[in-house]
């Protein structure tokens, strides 16, 4: 088994990979938001008749993209706050866990937001899940060795907790 400092470095690498993923998404969203804003405010996109809704549609897109930018920025801030959380005896926000299903193992990071992001760290796929997800809510408060029933009906055992 690896020593605790190595495990914490792995958790740090997972957190950094998730933040890098959010940074990449944010960069794309900002480019899209700028383009949408430009289209919504371009004088050449004025309605040509009462049925022309290009400007209105562009403003809806711009507003939606601006909202998503704010969500990703908030999520990134939440991830940054997890950097210095200590490892505890039970699953909590910021925990990196491994579940053993018998035939294989799955790795999860209990994240404050943006559940569903998958990152590869040291050759291992790690999925971010939130406490609001069905699996995340079942994992909260569990300790190593305890079992959880997955949404698929399969039983899994918590074997690592960082």
- Which residue, 117, 97, 115, 94, is CA-closest to 106? 97
At 67, is the pLDDT very low, low, confident or very high (cuts 50, 70, 90)?
very high
112 within 8 A of 78, measured Cβ to Cβ: yes
Is residue 38 classed as helix, strand or coil in its secondary structure? Answer: helix
Residue 134 CB-density burial (10 A; 0-12 exposed, 13-18 middle, 19+ buried): exposed
- Please say whether the dihedral angle defined by the alpha carbons of residues 28, 76, 37 and 59, taken in this order, is positive or negative: positive
On whether the CB atoms of residues 154 and 101 are closer than 8 A, the answer is yes
pLDDT for position 62:
82
Per-residue pLDDT, averaged over 64-69, amounts to 91
pLDDT at 13: 93
pLDDT for residue 50 is more than 70: no
Section 38-47 average pLDDT = 70
Residue 121, both tokens: 């760290």
Global pTM reads: 0.82
């Amino acid at each position: 088994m690896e020593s605790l400092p190595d495990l914490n470095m792995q958790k740090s690498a997972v957190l950094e990979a998730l933040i890098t993923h959010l940074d990449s998404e944010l960069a794309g969203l900002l480019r899209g938001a700028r383009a949408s804003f430009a289209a919504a405010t371009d004088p050449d996109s004025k309605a040509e008749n009462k049925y022309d809704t290009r400007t209105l549609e562009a403003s809806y897109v711009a507003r939606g993209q601006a909202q998503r930018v704010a969500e990703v920025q908030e999520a990134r801030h939440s991830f940054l706050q997890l950097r210095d959380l200590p490892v505890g005896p039970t699953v909590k926000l910021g925990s990196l866990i491994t579940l053993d299903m018998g035939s294989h193992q799955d790795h999860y990071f209990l994240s404050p937001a943006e559940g569903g992001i998958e990152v590869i760290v040291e050759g291992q796929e790690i999925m971010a899940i939130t406490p609001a997800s069905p699996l995340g809510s079942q994992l909260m408060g569990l300790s190593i060795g305890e079992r959880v029933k997955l949404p698929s009906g399969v039983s899994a055992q918590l074997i690592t907790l960082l």
